[in-house]
Structure 1
Amino acid sequence: MAARAAGLSAGFALDLAFADPRRHHPVALFGTLARRLEHGVYADSRARGAAYSAALVGGTTAATLGARAGLQRLPGVGPVLAELGLTTATTFIALGGTSLVREGDAMAGLLDGGDLPGARQRLSHLCARDASNLSEPDLARATVESIAENTSDAVVAPLLWGGLLGAPGLLGYRAANTLDAMVGYRSPRYEQFGWASARLDDWLNLVPARIAAFLVFIVTGRREALTTWRRYARLHPSPNAGPVEAAYAGALGVRLGGSNTYEGVTEQRGVLGDGREVAVADVARANRLSRQVSSAALFTAAGLALTIGASRGARR
C-alpha cells in the first residue's frame, strides 16, 4: 500500500509535468473502441446500454487486474514494484488536472484580451454548452463552473478510487467517466441507451464529489464554501456537480448557475450562491483553487492507501 501511495504521487507529478498527451492518449483510444462497439450494439434500450457499459467498464477493470497479476509474476518485479509501476502509469493516464487548468488559463487569456469570438470557440474544450451568444461574464461563469466540476471528476475522484483500489480503480473509474461523457447525457438517442452509463458515473462520484467540496473548504478556510454548499447544492440538476460548484461559489464569493443552452435546448438551472457576478479575474482564482484542491486530494488518496495498508497489517 505504500507503493500504491508512492505511485499515486509519481503519477500526479507526471501529470503536472506533461499533462495529457496530445496524440495517442489511452483514454482517446478507449473512446474510439467504445464508439465502434456502440455502432455494433446500439439499441434504444436501457438493457442494451447497461450491457454496453458493463462490458467496457468491467473489461477495462479486468484487464488492469490481469496486467497487475502478470507484472507481479515477472522475474525481479514482484508485488511492490508491480503496484508502484502500474499505479504510476495509470494515475498519469487517468488524471486530467493539468490540462484542465491550462484550458482555464487559455480562457482567461482570451477574455483578458477581449477576444470573445476566440473564447466562445475555446469553451468547447471545457464543456458542451452553446457559447455562440455568451457574454464575457457568461463565458467566465461557464469556465469557473467547468473548472469546479472537472476538478472533482478528473482529479479528486480518480485519485480516491486509486487510493482505494489501485490501478483497477483508476482505470475502471476513468472508463465509466468517459462513457458518461460520450453517451450519458440526455438526448433522443441516448436517453435510454446511456442511462446506465450516466447512473454508474453518478454513483462512482457520489462520495468523491462531496470530498472535493469539503476540500474546497479545507484549502481556503472559508466557511462560505460549506454554507453555500448546504443551502444551494440541491438546486443543481446534477447530484454531484451541485456540491462542488456551490462550494466553489462560496469560496470565491461569486454566483454560479443560471441559464445554460445545450444543443439548442435551454435549461434553467438553479442559482448557486448569493455573491457577485463572475468576473474574468475569477477564472484565474478558480484555477488556483483547482490546483490546491488537487494537491489536497492527492494527500487524501495517499493517506487512504496507507490507512488501508495499516489496517491490513493490524489484522494480520
Structure 2
Amino acid sequence: MSNALILLIALLIDGIIGEPKWLWSRIPHPAVLMGRAVGWMDDKFNTGDKKKQSGILALIALCVVAGIIGILVSNLPDSGTFQTLFVAILLAQKSLAQHVTAVARAMRLSTGDGRMAVARIVGRDTRSMDDSAIARGAIESAAENLSDGVIAPAFWFLLLGLPGLLIYKITNTADSMIGYLAPRHREFGWAAARFDDLVNWIPARITAVLIALTHGAHTKWRAVLRDAPLHRSPNAGWPEAAMAVVLNVALSGPRSYAGEVREFPFVHNEGHHALTANDVDAAVAALWRTWIALVLICAIIALFI
C-alpha cells in the first residue's frame, strides 16, 4: 500500500471513529506513552549545568527511538494494516472537533460552563473570561490543533512514512511538555521548542492555504500574509490568521497566563470582536471542510501515484 492510500484510510477511520474511550480507558494511548517517555527524560536529565546540551541529546534519543519503532512497524508482515492503525490513532480530527464543539455547547448553558469547557483545551487563565474570550480561545485551539494534530502528521507521513510521523509526534509532545519558557525548561526544552518550530513550518502554512481555499477566501490571502506574523508563534499565526479571515473574527489579542496579562496584538483586527457560540460552531465546520479537502488530496495522490 502506498503512503497516500494508508493515510486516506486512516483519515476516514479517525474521522468516523475518533478516539474510542472503551479502548483507551483500558490501555495507554501511544500519545500517553510518548508523554511518559518525555517526562522520564525530563526527570532524569534536566539537571546540572549543561541543561541545553542535555535537552538536545534527550530529544535526539527520543527521535531515534521513535524512528526505529516506525521502521520496525513498517517492515512487519502485512505492514499496511499496522501502519494504517498507527496513523489513525495518531490523527486527531474527530476528537478535536468534539472538544471544540463541547465548548460551544457549554457556552449555551452558561459562561461558567463555557469557562470549564475551554479550560480543557487552552493553557491560559480562564476564570475571568467572558463569552468572547471563551469563543476566541476555542477557535484559536481549533486552528492551531488542526495544524498540529491533523495536517502536520499527515504531511510527515506522506513524506517520510511512519518513522517521519512518529518523529513528528514525539517532537510535538516534547514541545507541549517542556518547550515552554518556564524557568525549569528554558534550557532543557530549548531543542524541543526549536525543532517543533522547524517541523511545523511547512504544515502550518499548508493548513492556512487549505482553510482559505475551502472557504473561497483566496482573494483575502493578503490579510493572512499581513496578520500571521503578528502572532507570538512563528507557525500558529498562519492557521489562526486564515481561520480569523474566513470567519471574519478577531483572534489572539490580550490574555492572561498565571495571573499575568499579556498584551498580544489581535489577528485580523477588523473582524468582529464580540464572539459567540455560533462562531465556535463555524470554526468546527471549517475543521471538517479542511479535513474533506485533505481526504480528496490523498485520494488523488493515491489514485495517480
Fold-level match, TM-score > 0.5?
Answer: yes
Post-superposition offset of 1:178: 0.8
- Alignment partner of 1:281 out of 269, 278, 283: 278
Cross-structure match for 1:15: 14
Post-superposition offset of 1:188: 0.8
Q: Cα–Cα, structure 1 residues 271 and 219, in superposed 2: closer, same or farther, change >3 Å?
A: same
1:28 counterpart = 2:64: no
- Alignment partner of 2:173 out of 135, 153, 178: 178
Which string of whole-angstrom CA distances, capped at 9 and with x for unpartnered residues, describes residues 85-125 of structure 1?
A: 23312211211111111011110001112x22222122222
- Alignment partner of 1:244 out of 214, 239, 248: 239
Q: Cα–Cα, structure 1 residues 67 and 91, in superposed 2: closer, same or farther, change >3 Å?
A: closer
Q: Could you tell me whether the CA contact under 8 Å between 2:66 and 2:170 is conserved in 1?
A: yes
1:255 counterpart = 2:261: no
SS of 1:220's equivalent in the other structure is coil
Higher mean C-alpha deviation, range 129-138 or range 32-41? 32-41
Cross-structure match for 2:67: 61
Higher mean C-alpha deviation, range 218-227 or range 170-179? 218-227
Post-superposition offset of 1:305: 6.6
Aligned partner letter, 1:65: I
Which string of whole-angstrom CA distances, capped at 9 and with x for unpartnered residues, describes residues 191-234 of structure 1?
A: 11111101111100100100000001110012365122111111
Which string of whole-angstrom CA distances, capped at 9 and with x for unpartnered residues, describes residues 237-294 of structure 1?
A: 1011111101111111111110122223322222111111132211000001011112
Correspondence list, 1:155-194, <5 A: 155-194=150-189
SS of 1:47's equivalent in the other structure is helix
Partners of 1:18 and 1:125 in 2: CA distance? 21
Post-superposition offset of 1:303: 5.0
SS of 2:253's equivalent in the other structure is strand
Q: Cα–Cα, structure 1 residues 166 and 306, in superposed 2: closer, same or farther, change >3 Å?
A: farther
Q: Could you tell me whether the CA contact under 8 Å between 1:86 and 1:167 is conserved in 2?
A: no
Post-superposition offset of 1:25: 0.9
Q: Could you tell me whether the CA contact under 8 Å between 1:105 and 1:284 is conserved in 2?
A: yes
Post-superposition offset of 1:15: 1.1
Q: Cα–Cα, structure 1 residues 247 and 66, in superposed 2: closer, same or farther, change >3 Å?
A: same
Q: Could you tell me whether the CA contact under 8 Å between 2:9 and 2:84 is conserved in 1?
A: yes
Cross-structure match for 2:105: 109
Aligned partner letter, 2:10: G
Partners of 2:62 and 2:299 in 1: CA distance? 27
Cross-structure match for 2:56: 50
Structure 2 segments unaligned to the other structure (5+ residues): none
Cross-structure match for 1:40: 44
What is the RMSD of the two structures over their aligned residues, measured on CA atoms? 1.8
Structure 1 segments unaligned to the other structure (5+ residues): 72-76, 311-316
Correspondence list, 1:86-235, <5 A: 86-113=82-109, 115-223=110-218, 225-235=220-230
Partners of 2:293 and 2:158 in 1: CA distance? 13
- Identity among equivalent positions (%) equals 32
SS of 2:19's equivalent in the other structure is coil
Q: Could you tell me whether the CA contact under 8 Å between 2:2 and 2:302 is conserved in 1?
A: no
Which string of whole-angstrom CA distances, capped at 9 and with x for unpartnered residues, describes residues 62-81 of structure 1?
A: 12112222x1xxxxx4xxx4
Post-superposition offset of 1:295: 2.4
Partners of 2:301 and 2:66 in 1: CA distance? 23
Aligned partner letter, 1:133: S
Q: Could you tell me whether the CA contact under 8 Å between 2:142 and 2:284 is conserved in 1?
A: yes
Q: Paired residues, what number? A: 296
Partners of 1:246 and 1:11 in 2: CA distance? 28
Partners of 1:187 and 1:199 in 2: CA distance? 15
Cross-structure match for 2:288: 291
Cross-structure match for 1:313: none
Which string of whole-angstrom CA distances, capped at 9 and with x for unpartnered residues, describes residues 285-315 of structure 1?
A: 00010111122223335656777xx4xxxxx
Q: Could you tell me whether the CA contact under 8 Å between 2:115 and 2:134 is conserved in 1?
A: yes
Post-superposition offset of 1:18: 2.4
Partners of 1:303 and 1:173 in 2: CA distance? 24
Q: Could you tell me whether the CA contact under 8 Å between 1:49 and 1:197 is conserved in 2?
A: yes
